[in-house]
């Protein structure tokens, strides 16, 4: 029985100093028990079996403590950088910031940037040092043989769940309710959503995948315990992660949330196969189901938000007119919104596919057309807030030009079609013509010969007769012209045409009508004034002066700003 004494000595020393030798001693004890159990006719068999079983019980208890001590010592939270460095930078920026161009977007999606990102990717961190895994596996096997499944599960859950949850807290993951979300300022919420999308990617692809790997290795050979342990270790962390997505999906809908909802839906679809693989066991069924429900709910909320937007555009009740007739904030907001939609075409196809909605391109074209029509309807209403009908036309011209130009430069053109572009370019021209007619017809009448002659005939042509034209009537025309032009100059130099090409073409269109008429009037009737007293009182401007002053129109000047 010397082998029994050797085993006993090793057991009493404990596993900490020499685990391999300790495990050999445990195996020896089991061999002794098996031998004497099958040879109970031997005189000392009962006593030996009892002694060995008592010693084996102590050995397993010490192994349990060693398992706990090893697992607890090496189960530390992972620093956020070690997790995030394992994945390439996402090439698509979080795109909720409507109205702001992402100047880094092109850089982020460039091949050079992606190559650089991949170069900087580090291997996944070891959640437990590789040299410790085999020791834990061997101890686990002994405890399983001894029937200590529940003790193993409890120890493993306590140590590993705590490490994962602490890691999530370090990342900034927190459980938030719908009420918490509703109270947040949009900028704060937007940042949290961007963070959540990154957390989901790194936690699933690195942390949960790593946890699954060590769980598989430690409990290799015992599938049921392996699956139970992994499920219990990750259940609360999965719940915390998904709770934020649920809170967003259930919170009050608003147009600016559409793109973050699409981002969230996109990440859930991206991670779907990995979630299904990592959480494939029957014990993880609730987690798989929760992820699938969240994906569907995000899709549904995004779809409803999409529908809300068209109605919100048409019913936007902002009563504050842009005083200078420039592009309305609603116009730039809606156009940016539509542009962003085309960054999500692949996601929208998936989303519409969730509900079996048929031809995605046709749907997108229909929705885009309706949004544009809703915007035009709203702008027509806003244009009626202006008391000056000239400014009404300038406002509509500016906004329609912005819409058409933006569509022509974006993927929306392919969906809306060339006919839509051509029709609306004509609308822009119609508003420009209406502006000219309303603003300048009265002043052009001052330069007309009609009403000046009391007899005979006259014309604007060179050498035309001035017989029958009184100097007083010509003076009156000059005074009226000066007054009207100065009023127009003072008022319309404060108006804005933000597009330089459109601004220049509108000035040119006015100049092409005004300057020839003015030159002809001066040539025809100027001598009547120049021969009298104070001619500069009436002929206040040369054609060159008018041309210079026309160049100040639509610059958005303020009242106290000096003339150029």
Write out pLDDT tens, residues 56-103.
667 777 778 888 989 999 999 999 998 888 887 664 444 433 444 433
Q: Is the pLDDT of residue 293 over 50?
A: yes
Range among 276-280, 307-311, 364-368, 560-564 rated most confident = 276-280
Q: What is the 3-state secondary structure (H, E, C) of 452-472?
A: CECCCCCCCCCCCCCCCECHH
463: left (phi over 0), alpha (psi -120 to 50) or beta: left
**Is the pLDDT at 359 greater than 50, yes or no?**
yes
Mean pLDDT, range 193-208, rounded to an integer: 94
Percent of the chain with pLDDT over 90: 51
Domains for the chain: give ranges and CATH numbers: 2-221 (1.20.1280.170), 316-434 (no CATH), 447-550 (1.20.1280.170)
Residue 271 has pLDDT above 80, yes or no: yes
Give 528's pLDDT tier (boundaries 50, 70, 90): confident
Angle of helix 149-171 versus helix 45-74 axis, rounded to 10: 0
Phi/psi of residue 409, each to 5°? -95, 5
Q: Are 63 and 139 within 8 A, CB to CB?
A: yes
Query: pLDDT of 142-173, one tens digit each?
Result: 888 888 889 999 999 999 999 999 999 999 88
The pLDDT, as a whole number, for residue 100 is 40
Whether pLDDT at 23 is above 90: no
Identify the three-state secondary structure at position 242.
helix
Residue 37: band (very low, low, confident or very high) from pLDDT cuts 50, 70, 90: low
Return mean pLDDT, the chain.
83
Split at pLDDT 50, 70, 90, the class of 130 is very high
**Predicted pLDDT of residue 246:** 94
What would the mean pLDDT of 229-238 be, rounded to a whole number?
96
3-state secondary structure of 526: helix
The pTM of this model reads 0.73
pLDDT tens for 410-437 read 888 888 889 999 999 999 999 999 999 9
How confident is the model at residue 415, as a pLDDT? 82
Task: List, for residues 442-486, the tens digit of each pLDDT value.
Answer: 999 999 887 776 544 433 334 445 656 788 888 899 999 999 999
What integer pLDDT is reported at residue 454 of this predicted model? 55
Q: What DSSP state is assigned to residue 342?
A: G
């Amino acid at each position: 029985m010397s082998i029994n004494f050797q085993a006993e000595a090793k057991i009493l020393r404990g596993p900490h100093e020499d685990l391999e030798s300790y495990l050999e001693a445990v195996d020896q004890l089991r061999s002794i028990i098996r031998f004497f159990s099958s040879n109970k006719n031997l005189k000392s068999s009962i006593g030996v079996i009892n002694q060995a079983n008592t010693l084996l019980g102590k050995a397993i208890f010490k192994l349990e403590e060693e398992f706990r001590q090893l697992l607890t010592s090496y189960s530390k939270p992972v620093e956020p950088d070690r997790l995030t460095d394992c994945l390439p930078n996402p090439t698509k920026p979080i795109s909720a910031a409507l109205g702001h161009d992402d100047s880094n977007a092109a850089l982020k999606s460039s091949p050079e940037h992606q190559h650089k990102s991949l170069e900087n990717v580090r291997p996944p961190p070891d959640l437990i040092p590789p040299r410790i895994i085999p020791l834990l596996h061997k101890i686990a096997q002994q405890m399983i043989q001894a029937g200590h499944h529940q003790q193993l599960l409890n120890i493993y859950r306590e140590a590993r769940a705590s490490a994962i949850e602490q890691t999530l807290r370090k990342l900034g993951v927190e459980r938030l309710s719908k009420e918490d979300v509703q109270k947040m300022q949009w900028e704060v919420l937007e940042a949290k959503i961007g963070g959540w999308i990154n957390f989901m990617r790194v936690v699933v692809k690195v942390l949960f995948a790593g946890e699954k790997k060590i769980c598989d290795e430690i409990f290799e050979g015992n599938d049921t315990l392996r699956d139970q342990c992994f499920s219990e270790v990750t259940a609360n962390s999965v719940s915390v992660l998904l709770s934020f997505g649920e809170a967003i999906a259930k919170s009050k809908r608003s147009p600016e949330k559409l793109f973050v909802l699409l981002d969230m839906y996109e990440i859930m679809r991206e991670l779907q196969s990995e979630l299904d693989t990592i959480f494939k066991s029957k014990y993880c069924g609730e987690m798989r189901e929760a992820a699938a429900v969240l994906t569907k709910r995000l899709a549904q909320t995004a779809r409803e938000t999409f529908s809300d937007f068209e109605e919100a555009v048409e019913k936007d009740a902002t009563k504050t007119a842009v005083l200078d007739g420039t592009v309305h904030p609603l116009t730039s907001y809606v156009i940016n919104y539509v542009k962003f939609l085309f960054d999500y075409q692949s996601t929208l196809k998936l989303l519409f596919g969730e509900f079996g909605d048929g031809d995605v391109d046709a749907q997108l074209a229909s929705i885009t057309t309706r949004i544009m029509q809703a915007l035009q309807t709203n702008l027509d209403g806003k244009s009626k807030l202006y008391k000056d009908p000239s400014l009404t036309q300038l406002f509509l011209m500016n906004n329609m030009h912005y819409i058409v130009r933006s569509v022509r430069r974006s993927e929306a053109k392919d969906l809306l079609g060339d006919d839509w572009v051509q029709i609306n370019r004509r609308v822009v021209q119609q508003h420009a013509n209406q502006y000219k007619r309303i603003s300048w017809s009265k002043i052009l009448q001052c330069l007309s010969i009609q009403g000046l002659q009391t007899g005979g005939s006259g014309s604007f042509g060179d050498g035309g007769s001035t017989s029958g034209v009184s100097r007083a009537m010509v003076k009156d025309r000059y005074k009226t012209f000066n007054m009207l032009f100065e009023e127009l100059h003072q008022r319309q130099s404060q108006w804005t045409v933000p597009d330089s090409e459109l601004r220049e073409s509108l000035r040119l269109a006015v100049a092409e009508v005004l300057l020839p008429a003015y030159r002809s009037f001066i040539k025809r009737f100027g001598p009547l004034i120049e021969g009298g007293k104070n001619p500069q009182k009436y002929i206040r401007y040369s054609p060159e002066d008018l041309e210079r002053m026309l160049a100040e129109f639509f610059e958005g000047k303020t009242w106290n700003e000096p003339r150029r």
